[in-house]
Amino acid sequence: MTDADDREEKLAEPRREDDGPPRRAPTYNDLRDDYDDQMIRTPASIARDRVFVPAIAYVFIGILGILGTLVGMAAAVVEYFDSRQRDDDVVLFLFLLWVVCVGLCLFTLVIAGGLSMMRLRRYGLALTATFVVTGLSLAGAYAILFFPFGIWGLVLLFRPDIRQEFGRRPPARVDD
């Protein structure tokens, strides 16, 4: 009998050491080993999966909104310096800059709310961002882009199971 045959025979037979449980041979490529990993889902992971798509949409909408407001600011500056710079042009220029600043603040809030929704933190900020996205749907031709995500976010954020996950702390990490 060779050493390889001896090792295979030892692994195939259950063995007892000090009246402990029998040692079984390791099994490889067992589908059941990986299958049950996805079955253990916490309520936080379920909630995080549900709000993921609207949260990503809010970040995307916020980035596009900031880029659009920066283009609007550039257009206002070019219009102001190309005009004759009358007194009523200065008032219009300041009003347009104020509108751009409000837009930058709102879209920054939408990005922050989307990120907090993704992390299930700061429920108030996520809800405010959702109201802003829903309200922006009334602002023009891009309503078809904002409205579904705003309503979807509102429906999700008012679900009791998702709402309670915003208040929970993540479990402490255990270092091995």
**Higher-confidence position of 85 and 78:** 78
Q: How many structural domains does the chain have?
A: 1
Cα–Cα distance between 24 and 13 in angstroms, integer? 7
- Inside any domain, residue 3: no
For residue 58, being part of any structural domain is answered with yes
Q: How far apart are CA 47 and CA 44, in angstroms?
A: 5
Please tell me which residue, 15 or 78, carries the higher pLDDT value.
78
In a domain, 11, yes or no: no
Q: Is residue 5 part of a domain?
A: no
Give the integer Cα–Cα distance in Å for 138 and 145: 11
Per the domain annotation, does 71 fall within a domain? yes
Q: Is residue 30 part of a domain?
A: no
Residue 37 falls inside a structural domain: no
Cα dihedral across residues 34, 40, 45, 49: positive or negative: positive
Q: Identify the weakest region by mean pLDDT among 11-25, 51-65, 92-106, 128-142.
A: 11-25
Q: Inform me whether the pLDDT recorded for 81 exceeds 80.
A: no
Give the model's pLDDT for residue 158.
Answer: 92
Owning domain of residue 93: 46-165
Range in 11-20, 42-51, 62-71, 77-86 with the lowest mean pLDDT: 11-20
Residue 110 domain-assigned (yes or no): yes
The string of pLDDT tens digits covering residues 112-168 is 999 999 988 899 999 999 999 888 877 776 677 788 888 999 999 999 888 888 877
Q: Fill in the DSSP letter of residue 120.
A: T
